[in-house]
Amino acid sequence: MIGPVLALSLAMPQLDIPQLPPITREPQVTFLDRSGQVIGVRGGRYGPPVDVAKLPAYVPAAFVAIEDRRFYEHNGYDLAGMARAILTDVGEGHATQGASTITQQLAKNLFLSSARTLERKGVELVYAVELEQTFTKQQILREAAMLAALMKSPTDYNPAEQPERSAERTGLVLDAMVETGAITPAQRARALAASPKVFKSAPDAASQYFVDWVDAQFVQMGPPKIDLVVETTLDARDEAEAQAAATTTIDRFAHDNVEQAALVALDPQGRVRAMVGGADYAASSFNRAVDAHRQAGSSWKPFVYLTAMEAGRTPDTPAVDQPVTIDGWSPKDFEPTYLGPITLQTALAQSVNTVAAQLADEVGRPNVANTARRLGIVTQINTDPAMALGTSLVTPIEMAQAYDAFSNGGNRVRAWGIEQIHTVASGRQLWRHPAPTTPNVIANPPLGEMNQMLRAVVASGTGVRAAIPGYDIAGKTGTTTDFRDAWFCGFTGGLTTVVWMGRDDNSPMRGITGGLAPAEFWRGFMRLALKHTPVTPIPPGPPAPVAPPPAVLEPAIPTNSAAPTIQDGPI
């Protein structure tokens, strides 16, 4: 084949190399976690061109060793390589080797079709020679590497799907690098002894629910015209631990029809440190942490009790767990028996429905709704009698906002995820999140009283599975009718985390309460996150108003009494 191809190429008139195709790519947006780790990329499919000179020396060396060993010696085509390929093909009885140099393959991929004809091969050879005369070897290698079409069958040698074939190909490349002097035999042995890090899914897969959430906010600012970097509030370690805890808990309770989970963790200013939007992003990108509106169940009750504390009740205020009917509706407790006379603290710790319903009726359900809105609930709130038991639909991120006020000293927050945006090329800052405003929305003594009661939920109530020794933990469980939703909303000083578990089709789980799987999910995440998160005891919040001192009353002087006389006498 060498003769006809050379003859054809020599007979051709000199061809002008077409202008190299422009590098057209959509701008990319790279998202970083709080420590600078890449957690996701959105926008254009292709990254910026790679400068071969900035790559480690062994990368182009490996490429040349396996694709075109005489790359730095030939002028575009390799007669020795072509002859060797023909002899091998004749010996095998069919075509087994190619003879194209890297430059020829570049010419084909840039300017020509893949038609297997002598004419195309001749034109390819001419273009290859002219490319060598026009560009340096480094420029040619950069262009070839960028196309990525020269890699040997990425599908067949995918290390995630074909580990044995990938290992075999890796050995061939290392052998070729030894033969060309790119590495030593000892380096080859060390490389083969090392276990490759292969991920069937991207290492940042756990962060994709969060990246989608902040990307949607970023897009509202307008489509990017250049490559940008978005620095976020996410902690990649917390995120990985949250997703692992979700997977572990779902697997453990799968036989009880647990299918999905969501989590939102906030710091005291509302920064999102972790977000789990579901069991598996690859299977479903629907973000349940932000977009799933589910009944809150008893995790709603702190809004009822806070309204009562602000109306003058205390944790020791007596109540009675007994049958009650409000506007024709009769709430039932989870347990079949009634506790009788108890305090409000016991009623919340044991999640007694009858007391919560009576309390909301007494303080006014519209007032309870206003309390919830004041703390950060933004979706519609119903005010029928059952609202006290959490029949309103809420999202996990809303509940995290609201509970953060209990954990940070009584201040309202709005969950946020973008710290700043800057350009890739110059690093110029384009936007920075303004200093968060956190107005105080829970005063004392109600704040201190609520935290006392929410601590009791974890210490001796329905949330005991969430307790973490050595930490000041408070929170509330939530379970809805027929076990369709289960929640645990909890906090310590420095971190608030809300978790939800259920099924996308809203069908019942089997006996899953907020104090069971969600509490274990919450604890599984928090016990790891708290090891590397600055935490403090739950802050006491603003000082309680100081009562004015009692007035000192002077004795009244009778109006009919005479003024005292002063007697003279010895001093």
**Residue 71 and residue 137 in contact, taking contact as beta carbons nearer than 8 Å:** yes
pLDDT confidence of residue 358: 97
Is the pLDDT at 11 greater than 80, yes or no? no
Please choose, from the candidates 303, 353, 294, 334, the residue with its C-alpha nearest in 3D space to the C-alpha of residue 487: 294
Are domains 2-24+51-151 and 238-506+523-529 of this chain identical in fold? no
The full DSSP string for 185-209 is: HHHHHHHHHSPP---SS-TTGGGHH
Please name the residue ranges forming H helices in 264-395: 288-291, 301-310, 344-349, 353-363, 365-375
Is the pLDDT at 441 greater than 70, yes or no? yes
Mean pLDDT of the chain: 85
Architecture of domain 2-24+51-151: Orthogonal Bundle (1.10)
What is the spatial distance between Cα 107 and Cα 101, in angstroms, rounded to a whole number? Answer: 10
Query: What confidence category does residue 567 fall into, taking pLDDT thresholds of 50, 70 and 90?
Result: very low
Q: What is the mean pLDDT of residues 521-547?
A: 91
> Longest C-alpha distance within the chain, in Å?
149
What is the spatial distance between Cα 160 and Cα 205, in angstroms, rounded to a whole number? Answer: 15
> In whole angstroms, how far apart are CA 563 and each of 307, 442, 554?
58, 56, 18
Is the pLDDT at 24 greater than 70, yes or no? no
The angle formed by the CA atoms of residues 360, 449 and 501, to the nearest 5 degrees, is 65
Give the containing element (helix H, strand E) for 120.
helix 118-134
**Residue 299 and residue 487 in contact, taking contact as beta carbons nearer than 8 Å:** yes
Q: What is the mean pLDDT of residues 121-141?
A: 71
pLDDT confidence of residue 173: 78
Q: What is the mean pLDDT of residues 392-420?
A: 98
Strands 28-32 and 38-43: antiparallel
| Count of CA atoms in the C-beta half-sphere (13 A) of 108 | 20
Please choose, from the candidates 499, 36, 497, the residue with its C-alpha nearest in 3D space to the C-alpha of residue 236: 36
Q: Exposure string (b/e) for 243-275, b if CB count within 10 Å is 16 or more? A: bebbbebbeebeeeebbbbbbbbbbbbbbbbbb
The encoded tokens of residue 503 equal: 């099924």
Is the pLDDT at 12 greater than 70, yes or no? no
pLDDT confidence of residue 18: 63
> Which has more pLDDT, 108 or 496?
496
pLDDT confidence of residue 165: 80
Residue 501: count of CB within 10 angstroms of its CB: 31
**Residue 365 and residue 307 in contact, taking contact as beta carbons nearer than 8 Å:** no
Is the pLDDT at 4 greater than 70, yes or no? no
Q: What is the per-residue pLDDT across 82-100, written as a single tens digit (0 to 9) for each?
A: 666 556 555 554 444 456 7
Architecture of domain 238-506+523-529: 3-Layer(aba) Sandwich (3.40)
Boundaries of every domain in the chain: 2-24+51-151, 238-506+523-529
Q: What is the mean pLDDT of residues 303-327?
A: 97
> Which has more pLDDT, 545 or 22?
545
pLDDT confidence of residue 559: 43
> Which runs of E-coded beta strand occur in 55-126?
none
Is the pLDDT at 563 greater than 50, yes or no? no
> Which has more pLDDT, 140 or 387?
387
Query: What confidence category does residue 69 fall into, taking pLDDT thresholds of 50, 70 and 90?
Result: confident
Is the pLDDT at 392 greater than 70, yes or no? yes
Is the pLDDT at 562 greater than 50, yes or no? no
Q: Which residue do the tokens 């009740």 mark? A: 313
Q: What is the mean pLDDT of residues 535-557?
A: 75
> Which has more pLDDT, 508 or 71?
508
Out of 9-13, 389-393, 419-423, least confident range? 9-13
What is the spatial distance between Cα 28 and Cα 42, in angstroms, rounded to a whole number? Answer: 6
Out of 196-200, 281-285, 494-498, least confident range? 196-200
The percentage of the chain sitting over the pLDDT mark of 70, rounded to a whole number, equals: 77
Is the pLDDT at 568 greater than 50, yes or no? no
Please choose, from the candidates 223, 316, 210, the residue with its C-alpha nearest in 3D space to the C-alpha of residue 263: 210
Q: What is the mean pLDDT of residues 366-377?
A: 98
Give the containing element (helix H, strand E) for 164.
helix 163-179
Q: Is the torsion defined by CA of 305, 308, 310, 314 positive or negative?
A: negative
Please choose, from the candidates 526, 23, 513, the residue with its C-alpha nearest in 3D space to the C-alpha of residue 273: 526
